[in-house]
Amino acid sequence: MKIGNCPWSDIFENGYLSLSECHADTYTCKDLRPERKVTMRILLATYWGLPSVGGLEKYVLQLKRGLEARGHEVDIFCRTPDDSGFHILNKGLFLPKREIQPMISAKADTYFARHLPGLDPEVKFMEVDKYSFEVAAAYFRPAAYDIIHTQDVISARAFSRIRHARTALVSTIHGCLSTESLARHQADGLWYDDYTKTPLWRYYGLIEHYGIMQNHETIMPTEWLKGIMVRDFRIPEDRMTTVPNGMDIEGFLSEMHKPAVTPDAGGRKIILCSARFDPVKGHVHLLRALCQLKKVRNDWVCWLAGNGQLEGRLRELTAAYGLQNEVVFLGKRDDVPALLNKSDIVVLPSLQDNQPYSIMEAHVAGKPVVASNAGGIPEMVTHEMTGLIFPAGNEQDLYGNLLAVLSEDDRRSWLGQQGKEFGRRHWSLPLMTERILAIYEKALQKRWR
């Protein structure tokens, strides 16, 4: 099957690289067979690096906790945060990338030179990276698991090619590669209509399609993301099940009351933005809105908790806008619950998002939320009920919402209370775990296909 007029569709169907050509059998790990009998052996796997800042790590760790509470054994496979290799995160097992990537790159270069000259460099990079991930995944013996639960379309595609017949493949899709790529290119000035006509857009669309279609079961945290996959990437609706994310609410509330080292706010209201520094998170628009806010009141400070590729640029903009005394970069933090306890308002200016944990955590903590209408956020936040919503990228409305919650104490308190009641009903980890285990059972019935 080919999607659109894409010259490399056959790569996704058949691949240009087999594991035997990479001698992946020489990378067989012998020590992953569990010694004690458990209900199920489950591998949570992702193409992205962990540990990291953001919702993916929180989802994986929360799900691991929920599954282990039910008696299952759970491992986590991913790349390292510095991209130097791949590891089983919870066991300290590591495979350096330098051991496998050179041979992958050589094979890919030969193929591309012969069959796809002039291929976009971004596609070349992705292909080498994808196959490096696949070989590393094979090294860590995926046949040892009853369930492989991937967290993105890239890892889903990789494990579909190497899984044992008795292993069921489930995926939770946390975002959309194509639209995230679009958001980044729009930040560079490329228009939507122009980008969606490019081979790069079609390439990412193929990854989305094949990454989902070869799962036994696929989980979508929001109806928004499910709708995109149906509309844009030809995924049948019945191939996906919507299961909202959950969190360990009791554990989170306990963490809230631990001490946290933070700058002195000097009695000012604290606005917290906890998100990685990535173009899709919209920090630039937040800084511009704060620039307007400073003109009308100075009784606030904004804490930015996170790190990432945009940090240098954001620091430059903070200085350019004269916000050095109002905006504080906290770096990567492991004590977000305690930061929330000290905060008055939570803001999330995303240009694209699915079901961000920062909003779930704000709800559970009873903090008023100011968030964009990006992605699945409107499924989490009802405007004027469980928070305030503004159009993604609209700095004027973001400024207006921040001004409103700063100015009206009763409104700020009411929004926080409404969010808390909603969050503690809807963001339950046991509920999410129960739903996912039911999906595992369905996948196990399909695993021999």
- CA 319-323-326 angle, to 5 degrees, is 140
Check whether the bond before 259 is cis (ω within 30° of 0).
no
Domain layout of the chain by residue ranges? 9-246+430-446, 249-427
Alpha-carbon gap, residue 240 to 217, rounded angstroms? 7
pLDDT in tens, 326-344: 999 999 999 999 999 999 9
SS3 332: coil
Residue, of 162 and 9, whose pLDDT is higher: 162
Is the pLDDT at 12 greater than 70? The verdict is no
Both tokens of residue 447? 């695993």
**Strand ranges, E, within 32-179:** 41-49, 73-79, 85-88, 93-96, 147-150, 168-172
Closest CA to 3 of 138, 178, 218: 178
Q: Which two tokens stand for residue 309?
A: 């590729």
Structure confidence at residue 57 (pLDDT)? 92
Chain segment 185-203, per-residue pLDDT in tens: 666 677 767 777 888 888 9
In the predicted structure, residue 31 carries a pLDDT above the cut 80: no
Q: Any idea what the Cα angle at residue 178 is, between residues 13 and 163, rounded to 5°? A: 40
Residue 97 has pLDDT above 80, yes or no: yes
pLDDT of residue 187: 64
Calpha distance 182→125 (Å, rounded): 18
Instruction: Band the pLDDT of 3: cuts 50, 70, 90.
Output: very low
Range name among 67-76, 115-124, 285-294, 413-422 with the lowest pLDDT average: 115-124
| 3-state SS, residue 74 | strand
For residues 104-124, average pLDDT: 93
Question: What length does the chain have?
Answer: 449
pLDDT band at 35 (very low <50, low <70, confident <90, very high): very low
For 124-130, what is the mean pLDDT? 95
Residue 2 CA: distances (Å) to CA of 18, 67, 178, 198, 368: 21, 38, 17, 16, 47
Q: How many CA atoms lie within 13 A of 25 on its CB side?
A: 2
Instruction: Give the HSE-up count for residue 381: Cα atoms under 13 Å, Cβ half-sphere.
Output: 35
pTM of the predicted structure, to 2 decimals: 0.86
Strand pairing partners for 270? Answer: 301
Helix, strand or coil, per DSSP, at residue 273: strand
Architecture of the domain made up of 9-246+430-446 = 3-Layer(aba) Sandwich (3.40)
What percent of the chain is predicted at pLDDT more than 90? 80
Q: Does residue 361 surpass a pLDDT of 70?
A: yes
pLDDT band, very low/low/confident/very high, at 4 (cuts 50, 70, 90): very low
Strand partners, 348: 371
Average pLDDT, integer, range 133-151: 96
Q: What's the pLDDT band for 13 if we cut at 50, 70, 90? A: low
Is the pLDDT confidence value at 448 over 70? no
Whether 9-246+430-446 shares its CATH topology with 249-427 is answered yes
**């493949």: which residue's tokens?**
169
From the list 17, 5, 46, 1, the residue with the least C-alpha distance to 203 is: 5
What average pLDDT does this structure show over 281-305? 97
- Report how far residue 444's alpha carbon sits from residue 433's, in angstroms, rounded to the nearest whole number: 16
Q: Give every CB contact of residue 217 below 8 A, 6+ residues apart in sequence.
A: 168, 170, 171, 241, 439, 440, 442, 443, 446
In this predicted structure, the answer to whether residue 294 has a pLDDT above a threshold of 60 is yes
pLDDT of residue 383: 97
34 pLDDT above the threshold of 80: no
Q: Rounded mean pLDDT of 53-64?
A: 90
Q: How does pLDDT run across 201-244, given as a tens digit for each residue? A: 889 989 999 999 999 999 999 999 999 999 988 899 999 999 99
The strand pairing partners of 329, in sequence order, are: 304
**Residue found under tokens 């069921």:** 168
Give yes or no for residue 25 having a pLDDT over 90.
Answer: no
In angstroms, the CA 398 to CA 357 distance is 20
Give the pairing of strands 85-88 and 73-79: antiparallel
Q: What is the layout of strands, in order, in the sheet containing 240-242?
A: 93-96, 85-88, 73-79, 41-49, 147-150, 168-172, 217-220, 240-242
pLDDT of residue 29: 45
**Which pLDDT tens digit goes with each residue over 366-384?**
999 999 999 999 999 999 9
Which segment of 55-69, 122-136, 248-262, 435-449 scores lowest on mean pLDDT? Answer: 435-449
Q: What are 345's two structure tokens? A: 């308002």
**Which is more confident, 442 or 191?**
442
Asked if pLDDT for residue 32 goes beyond 50, the answer is no
Answer yes or no: CATH 3.40.50.920 is held by domain 249-427: no
Q: Per-residue pLDDT for 265 more than 80?
A: yes
Residue 411 φ/ψ, nearest 5 degrees: -65, -40
Average pLDDT, the chain: 90
